[in-house]
């Protein structure tokens, strides 16, 4: 994955949200500086790996004195694009759609839920966390009119590809895809596939191999 045109390994990008989350916790505790060793211990990544990671983005300096927590938190948030503020819709008002619609942490990180869609007449019109579920037939018009950035896809696997293609044509910028189908789209749109069972398998590994963290 690229940063300012430079290639950055996907594993490094995947660590950024974890750094961001942890630095956010430190901020809440009013901790202003952290040594690379302390950060290393917490993140379970070597101190040299942390320096390597940060070097992809300019290094963030100040290693002798440790890192300035607020500065680092802000810079990483900037790189992650969290300052932009995104509007989102959920497509698929099943249990997972409900769960995500009720998840206030996303809003805090700048992802504002704008609307929820479903094609099931039983669900259309019901209220989820203050949003009236709308008919997916109205989805394209809504996305265009409200400049929606991200679609959270929690609909059945069989329907996801066609739905994503329709949304891509309306200019959606990213898909957060929970539908266990790989999207092969004609349009270039950012996609993040969520596979919940991956972390369940990781837990299984830890149990089997006797690891407790």
CA distances to 13, 20, 192, 201 from 198, in Å: 18, 22, 14, 5
Judged by CB under 8 A, the residue of 33, 38, 94, 131 near its own copies is 94
Rounded to whole angstroms, the Cα distance separating 37 from 10 reads 23
Query: Residue 177 corresponds to which tokens in the numbers above?
Result: 């895809």
What is the largest distance, in Å, between two alpha-carbon atoms of the chain?
61
Residue 89 in contact with its own copies, rule: CB under 8 A = no
Query: Residue 207 corresponds to which tokens in the numbers above?
Result: 């149990």
Q: Which stretch binds its own copies (CB under 8 A): 11-19, 67-75, 113-121, 138-146?
A: 11-19
SS3 label, residue 159: helix
Q: What residues does 127 pair with on adjacent strands?
A: 132
Q: Which stretch binds its own copies (CB under 8 A): 5-13, 58-66, 112-120, 130-138?
A: 5-13
Residue 27 in contact with its own copies, rule: CB under 8 A = no
Residue 156 in contact with its own copies, rule: CB under 8 A = no
Residue 3 in contact with its own copies, rule: CB under 8 A = yes
Judged by CB under 8 A, the residue of 84, 138, 146, 156 near its own copies is 84
Nearer to its own copies, 138 or 203 (CB): 203
CA distances to 56, 141, 151, 196, 203 from 207, in Å: 35, 49, 35, 17, 6
Judged by CB under 8 A, the residue of 33, 51, 109, 131 near its own copies is 109
Residue 194 in contact with its own copies, rule: CB under 8 A = yes
């Amino acid at each position: 994955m690229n940063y300012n045109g430079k290639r950055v390994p996907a594993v490094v990008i995947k660590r950024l949200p974890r750094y961001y989350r942890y630095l956010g916790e430190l901020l809440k505790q009013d901790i202003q500086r952290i040594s690379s060793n302390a950060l290393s211990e917490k993140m379970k990544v070597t101190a040299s790996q942390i320096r390597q990671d940060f070097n992809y983005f300019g290094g963030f300096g100040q290693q002798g004195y440790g890192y300035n927590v607020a500065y680092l938190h802000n810079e990483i948030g900037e790189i992650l694009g969290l300052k932009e503020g995104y509007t989102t819709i959920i497509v698929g008002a099943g249990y997972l759609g409900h769960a995500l619609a009720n998840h206030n942490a996303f809003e805090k990180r700048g992802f504002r839920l704008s609307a929820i869609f479903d094609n099931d007449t039983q669900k259309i019109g019901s209220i989820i966390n203050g949003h009236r579920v709308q008919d997916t037939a109205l989805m394209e018009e809504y996305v265009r009119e409200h400049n929606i950035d991200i679609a959270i896809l929690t609909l059945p696997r069989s329907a996801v590809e066609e739905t994503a293609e329709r949304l891509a044509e309306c200019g959606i910028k990213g898909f957060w895809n929970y539908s266990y189908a790989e999207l092969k789209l004609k349009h270039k749109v950012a996609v993040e596939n969520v596979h919940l069972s991956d972390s369940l398998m990781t837990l299984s590994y830890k149990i089997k191999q006797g690891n407790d963290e």
